[in-house]
Chain A
Amino acid sequence: MKFTWKIGGEAGFGIMTTGLIFSKIVTRHGYYIHDFIEYPSLIRGGHNAYEVTISDQSIGAPKEKIDLLVCLNQETFSLHKKRLAENALVIYDSLDFSISEKNYQLVDIHFQKILDDFKGQQIMKNTIALGASLALIGADLQELHQILESQFGRKGKEVVEFNQKFASAGFDQVREKYASLIKTIFEKKTVQPALVITGNDAFSLGSVVADCRFYCAYPMTPSSGVLTDLAAWQNKVGLVVRHAEDEISVINTAIGASFTGVRSAVGTSGGGFALMVEAVSLAGITEIPVVIFVAQRPGPATGMPTWTEQADLLFSVFSGHGEFPKIVLAPGDVEEMLKLSAEAYNLADIYQTPVIVLSDMFLSESHQSLLKSNFDDFANSYQVKRGKLVNKPSTNPYLRYQVTADGISERLLPGTKNYFYQSNSYEHLEDGHSTEVASEVKKQVEKRAQKEITYLKNDFQLPKVYGDLEKAETIFVSWGGVKNIILENMGQNSALIHFTYVYPLDSEKIKPLLTKNKRYILVENNATGQLGKLLMMTTGIEIKEKLLKYDGRSISCEEIVRLIS
């Protein structure tokens, strides 16, 4: 059972907060949600919308039809009516605009009149809409009242009660005038507590679990949620957050902190990452771990800041001049984001090299439910693995860049008494001093390359296979945030190969997955099929059939369904 609620209105009037409150209330009733937002890169004006899909099972993508649309203005109805389900519920205000279509169940709430009667402000339309929506889906009002209390409690009882009045007004009007339309599908169940988090929140939580102690960033949509989370938590958690003057400073500051022994990360989107790549190369040759969170948005250049795309995969894979190992991970939903971002810190420390965690706007800014018990189990069992970071070297003299079988050398914590060394951006000898001697240069190039081989042997993970590759007629191939859209719409006769450890890839291990006598379809939110190119580069196998979308919107359910029907 799935049900989709959507609210729309003018930007700047609280749509985003309203949507999140709806998601939380439904989650507190014992259901799972996935939501996403649509907004222009403006603070006021333009159209904002928030869509929540509710299910009694875990869910990670929107569905095709809207079951309840809340129109805070006429534009919302005209923009979204094409997606309304048969007999969908539409909340609107007949005093504001009229709806002539007859194939919907209209719920006429006189927002402006309620505001006038109770002397409310425009923003309280949202509270009325929430009350009315909860009544229509058969939920109770208690959770909303509680949220309003925690939101406005600081301002005193009167303010709380004033806001609650608007919630009750919407709720009661539905109960009185539209009792026959009320659904009973969302009655409160025994609740296993769940978190309602975005991909950005999941990266922030993963970072805290992984003992990240320094986060540096320059605000850039859609990655800024991480900066907001970690900056707010810094005193409680004991990490330091620096909002630096530009992304160049951001990553170099993080490299300085990481050199000194502190787990460090940076976050940005494509344009900011472009400024960082010089230092990605620095981290590569100096062998300093750093975790880089890149939340993709449509490019090139400024592109469309508030929409989604997956077009920076190859840019990430090839970021930085020169040749050095790097690891690129791309989680597909919030749970994978939590786990892989925490894992990124371990991999960065073990391989002493940059690790990039790729997200996209759709994953970064959409909420999903995550059972609290899942979070707790993961957080409490996570092991911090710092690889060969040592307080005392095992050899004398200490060689920072000692050639070893696995390519990884001991990294001595700076400040350790009786020792010193340099980490060097120039090509260097095993002891760190600069060199241009051919044989020594070759040794270090090969030593660094060996780390990639070690990674592929010890830590690389095969793509996850959903469904049965042998029985499936169609095999979808994807990476990152499009995972659940495919998974929830591909039907019984399909399977999905979903890559999260996207670079480097082990050709021999993945070839068998791609050479079955089946119909393969590559699904990516970009125009050129970048994972397809990467797979071709690694394995020589080309996936010819592709579903590529590059208009800033996520792949839709119908686009998947159409391919298999």
Chain B
Amino acid sequence: MSLVEDFSGYNPTWCPGCGNWGIGMALKTALANLNYSPSDILVSFGVGCSGNANDFLNAYGLHTLHGRSVSTIIGMKIANHKMPVIAVVGDGDCYGEGGNHLLHAVRGNHDVTVIVHNNSVYGLTTGQVAPTAQKGFKSKSTPFGIIEKPLNPLSLALTQGASFIGQSFAGNLPHMTEIIAKAIKHKGFSLVNVLQPCVTFNKIYTYPYFIQHSYKLDEKYDPKNYDQALVKTEEYVKEKFALGVIYQEERATYTDELSQLKNASLVEKDRFKDFSSIISEFI
């Protein structure tokens, strides 16, 4: 039986009241509830306030570069598909700098879980706008309001083939814990978009704002219904946030489709030595 405390590294340096505290606790609780130990999991961290969890979470961790976490977890999973693989990333990190990687990772249905701390700002660089903020959002880099429309990560992931899309709110620990656990258990690409207040640099998307604009999906909601999920994900840009598992589909994962991984993981398999079988084409 593992404990939440097993996963606790250094004390976090996040601002008091930051949504990251809740997400960090939810992830540790979910891992403990699933009965994993820190030796069992591979975690890649992006760069940003969320990525700083590298020092706060015990695991086989790789603190990567801004935007590149989603690429590294693909490599981790291919190398050892028997271990759960998680990315802890931010919205600027995963939807901005690493947007192209996300787009293609969901297509591949790699069996990984991407937890996005989405606060619509770049907290660590002192509050510039992130691609998820509403049009007109004022920040240090957009003093007259951002011209672009917000990126919709949910419908983007859904239409490109993500097989699990969950959304939660940093102010609701039990809900986050449940959704993150479901995402990790899901076989395939899981995106968990966590709505998170930045108490220091975002005075608009506050705890009251998210409470007011979000609602829980009820028991009658069927996450297997793609068309219905599409409607729910479209609500995102209308500042209406459905909380829960928005979409889930059973589909072969990337490593399921690699016949060379049938008998053993890549890291465990025996060395190939039958060189004569590949050189005949050159003679």
Please list the residues of chain A having a beta carbon within 8 angstroms of any beta carbon in chain B.
24, 27-28, 193-197, 201, 205, 208-209, 211, 213-214, 216, 233-240, 242, 244-246, 248-249, 252-262, 264, 278-279, 282, 286, 372, 375-376, 379-380, 384, 413-426, 432-434
User: With A249-B101, A279-B68 in contact, do A264 and B260 touch (Cβ < 8 Å)?
Assistant: no
Question: What's the least CB distance linking B3 to chain A, in Å?
Answer: 15
Contact of B275 among A261, A279, A379 (CB under 8 A): A379
Task: Decide if A240 touches B261 in the complex (CB within 8 Å).
Answer: yes
Judge whether B238 is part of the interface by a CB distance below 8 angstroms: no
Task: Decide if B104 touches A414 in the complex (CB within 8 Å).
Answer: no
- Bound CA–CA A248/B60 (angstroms): 23
Contact of B277 among A236, A246, A260 (CB under 8 A): A236
Task: Decide if A286 touches B62 in the complex (CB within 8 Å).
Answer: yes
Please list the residues of chain B having a beta carbon within 8 angstroms of any beta carbon in chain A.
9-10, 37-40, 42, 44, 47, 52, 54-55, 58-65, 68, 71-76, 78-80, 83, 100-101, 103-104, 258-261, 266-267, 269, 271-272, 275-279, 282-283
Residue of A nearest to B83 (CB): A415
Contact of A425 among B42, B64, B71 (CB under 8 A): B64
Task: Decide if B79 touches A252 in the complex (CB within 8 Å).
Answer: no
Residue of B nearest to A370 (CB): B282
Task: Decide if A238 touches B272 in the complex (CB within 8 Å).
Answer: yes
Q: Using Cβ atoms and an 8 Å threshold, which residues of chain A touch B78?
A: 214, 240, 242, 253, 257, 262
User: With A205-B278, A213-B266 in contact, do A260 and B100 touch (Cβ < 8 Å)?
Assistant: no
Determine chain A's interface SS by DSSP, over half rule.
mixed
User: With A256-B72, A261-B79, A433-B9 in contact, do A372 and B279 touch (Cβ < 8 Å)?
Assistant: yes
Task: Decide if B83 touches A422 in the complex (CB within 8 Å).
Answer: no
Task: Decide if A252 touches B71 in the complex (CB within 8 Å).
Answer: yes
- Bound CA–CA A231/B75 (angstroms): 16
Contact of A422 among B54, B272, B279 (CB under 8 A): B54
With a 10 A CB-CB cut-off, give which of B38, B71, B267 has the most chain A CB atoms: B71
- Bound CA–CA A264/B271 (angstroms): 14
Q: Using Cβ atoms and an 8 Å threshold, which residues of chain A touch B10?
A: 433
Task: Decide if A426 touches B272 in the complex (CB within 8 Å).
Answer: no
Contact of A195 among B54, B260, B282 (CB under 8 A): B282
Task: Decide if A196 touches B272 in the complex (CB within 8 Å).
Answer: no
Task: Decide if B61 touches A423 in the complex (CB within 8 Å).
Answer: yes
Contact of A256 among B9, B76, B279 (CB under 8 A): B76
User: With A208-B275, A375-B279 in contact, do A421 and B75 touch (Cβ < 8 Å)?
Assistant: no
Q: Using Cβ atoms and an 8 Å threshold, which residues of chain B touch A384?
A: 271
Task: Decide if A253 touches B72 in the complex (CB within 8 Å).
Answer: yes
Contact of B75 among A197, A237, A246, A254 (CB under 8 A): A254
Task: Decide if A258 touches B9 in the complex (CB within 8 Å).
Answer: no
Question: What's the least CB distance linking B112 to chain A, in Å?
Answer: 10
Q: Using Cβ atoms and an 8 Å threshold, which residues of chain B touch A236?
A: 272, 277-278
With a 10 A CB-CB cut-off, give which of B37, B75, B104, B266 has the most chain A CB atoms: B75
Q: Using Cβ atoms and an 8 Å threshold, which residues of chain B touch A278?
A: 65, 68
With a 10 A CB-CB cut-off, give which of B38, B52, B101 has the most chain A CB atoms: B101
Question: What's the least CB distance linking B228 to chain A, in Å?
Answer: 29
Question: What's the least CB distance linking B89 to chain A, in Å?
Answer: 13
Task: Decide if A252 touches B65 in the complex (CB within 8 Å).
Answer: yes
Residue of A nearest to B279 (CB): A195
Contact of B62 among A205, A233, A422 (CB under 8 A): A422
Residue of A nearest to B10 (CB): A433
Q: Using Cβ atoms and an 8 Å threshold, which residues of chain B touch A27?
A: 283
With a 10 A CB-CB cut-off, give which of B44, B272, B276 has the most chain A CB atoms: B272
Q: Using Cβ atoms and an 8 Å threshold, which residues of chain A touch B55?
A: 422, 433-434
Q: Using Cβ atoms and an 8 Å threshold, which residues of chain B touch A264?
A: 75, 79
Task: Decide if A260 touches B267 in the complex (CB within 8 Å).
Answer: yes
Residue of A nearest to B6 (CB): A420
- Bound CA–CA A28/B259 (angstroms): 35
- Bound CA–CA A95/B254 (angstroms): 57
Task: Decide if B61 touches A422 in the complex (CB within 8 Å).
Answer: yes
Q: Using Cβ atoms and an 8 Å threshold, which residues of chain B touch A249?
A: 68, 71, 74, 100-101, 104
Interchain Cβ contacts under 8 Å between A and B, 21 examples: A195-B283, A201-B282, A208-B272, A233-B278, A236-B277, A240-B78, A245-B104, A248-B100, A248-B101, A249-B74, A257-B79, A260-B42, A260-B79, A279-B65, A417-B39, A420-B60, A421-B60, A422-B54, A423-B62, A424-B63, A426-B54
- Bound CA–CA A550/B279 (angstroms): 35
Task: Decide if B283 touches A415 in the complex (CB within 8 Å).
Answer: no
Task: Decide if B63 touches A261 in the complex (CB within 8 Å).
Answer: no
- Bound CA–CA A214/B79 (angstroms): 8
Task: Decide if A214 touches B104 in the complex (CB within 8 Å).
Answer: no
Task: Decide if A245 touches B101 in the complex (CB within 8 Å).
Answer: yes
Question: What's the least CB distance linking A410 to chain B, in Å?
Answer: 15
- Bound CA–CA A279/B72 (angstroms): 11
Q: Shortest 8 CB-CB distances between A and B: which pairs?
A: A256-B75, A256-B72, A422-B61, A257-B75, A252-B71, A260-B79, A414-B60, A245-B104
- Bound CA–CA A454/B47 (angstroms): 32
Task: Decide if A419 touches B54 in the complex (CB within 8 Å).
Answer: no
User: With A233-B278, A255-B72, A433-B9 in contact, do A211 and B272 touch (Cβ < 8 Å)?
Assistant: yes
Question: What's the least CB distance linking A370 to chain B, in Å?
Answer: 8
User: With A209-B275, A235-B259 in contact, do A193 and B54 touch (Cβ < 8 Å)?
Assistant: no
Task: Decide if A235 touches B71 in the complex (CB within 8 Å).
Answer: no
Given pairs A205-B278, A416-B39, 19 additional interface contacts (CB within 8 A): A193-B283, A196-B283, A214-B266, A236-B277, A238-B272, A239-B266, A239-B272, A245-B103, A246-B100, A252-B72, A262-B78, A262-B266, A278-B68, A375-B279, A420-B58, A420-B59, A420-B60, A422-B62, A423-B62
